[in-house]
Homo-oligomer: A and B are copies of this chain.
Amino acid sequence: MPDRLGAPLSEPLFERLALIGIGLIGSSLAHVSRRKGLARTIVAADASADVRAKVAELGIADHVAETAAAAVEGADLVILCAPVGAMGAIAQEIGPHLAPGAILSDVGSVKASIIAAVAPHLPPSVHFIPAHPVAGTEYSGPESGFSTLFFNRWSILTPLEGADPKAVARLAAFWKTAGANVETMQPAHHDLVLAITSHVPHLIAYNIVGTAADLEEVTESEVMKFSAGGFRDFTRIAASDPIMWRDIFLNNKEAVLEMLGRFTEDLTALQRMIRRGDGQGLSDLFTRTRAIRRGIIEQGQETAAPDFGRRSGDG
């Protein structure tokens, strides 16, 4: 692989990075932090003893702590990489142990509810700057991470009112060095944007896979065999981590239901076009949607290779 991430820093941006929760994102942050020299020391913690053992075995952190509270001692950057629903309890645990002046951030896919759950537990000397890197794969766990996961993806910072601009700039520099583009947004707007670009897409992917699995007229074997007609695309994001996604839907309820309402309204209109045989209406929509993909490809957020460049069925 060409070195898309560039050379390591001559001086680390942080002395001690504590990663709390080592799944796909946490382990990818460990990889890229080491590769780029982002922190002098990387400490990892995870609620699961199995995961902690795995992280030690993989050697992707300098230390594996038994508890989140122990991990954050003396850290100048702490990033919570646990499922959204676990963030509040972790904040409560680590709050008293955070170093004065430390930056506390997270990678959660929703922002308003995390802020509500985390902020009350923090001492005033800590800079809480929520963040969300819009990057991932359908795999989870500490073995699934890799250092280029964030390359040319967007990391969205949602600093609270009155946040210290220097601390925000330091966190932005961390993400940029990890290869990401950085955008700043209001938490509520983040949650609305992600509802349509991520949460509702996952919901309808999970849903159609469930619908197909439950049919009596079409067997599961037929669904699998003939999935190359389009269905298989949806199974990728419907294979994402169940707990992570449960928490996202429970914690971004309002925006998800709002965007889902729009989706359903539009789908009903489309259904009517089919019932009425409105070919013009159908081809108008189907033509319009092509432009969006072109834009995404031009912005470097998608490959132009046919079929995602995938090669399946290789004999």
Residues on A close to B: CB < 8 A? 4, 109, 134-139, 144, 151-154, 156, 183, 192-194, 196-215, 217-218, 220, 222-240, 242-243, 245-247, 249-250, 253, 256-257, 259-260, 262-264, 266-267, 270-271, 273-275, 277, 279, 282-283, 285-290, 292-296, 299-303, 305-315
Contact = CB atoms under 8 A, between A and B. Distances in A.
B230 A282 contact: no
B313 A310 contact: no
A292 B223 contact: yes
This chain: copies in complex: 2
Chain A contact residues, majority secondary structure = helix
Contacts of A206: 270, 285-286, 289
A220 to B, nearest CB: 7
Query: Which of A136, A208, A214, A245 gathers most chain B CB within 10 Å?
Result: A208
Given A192-B217, A197-B223, A227-B296, 17 more contacts: A136-B229, A144-B306, A192-B218, A194-B226, A197-B230, A198-B230, A208-B263, A209-B292, A210-B288, A224-B292, A224-B299, A236-B293, A249-B274, A250-B274, A260-B267, A300-B312, A309-B310
19 contacts: A109-B229, A134-B228, A151-B313, A153-B228, A194-B229, A196-B223, A198-B230, A198-B231, A207-B270, A215-B262, A223-B292, A233-B236, A238-B292, A239-B290, A242-B286, A245-B286, A246-B283, A250-B282, A264-B264
A253 B270 CA distance: 12
Given A274-B253, A285-B210, A292-B212, A308 B310 contact: yes
A72 B152 CA distance: 52
B242 A257 contact: no
A220 B283 CA distance: 21
Contacts of A262: 211, 214-215
A134 B226 CA distance: 6
B306 A309 contact: no
A218 B306 CA distance: 28
A232 to B, nearest CB: 5
Nearest to A138: B306
A7 to B, nearest CB: 14
A137 B303 CA distance: 13
Contact of A224 (B224, B279, B295): B295
Nearest to A181: B225
Contacts of A197: 212, 218, 222-223, 226-227, 229-231
A257 B290 CA distance: 24
Given A201-B233, A218-B193, A225 B152 contact: no
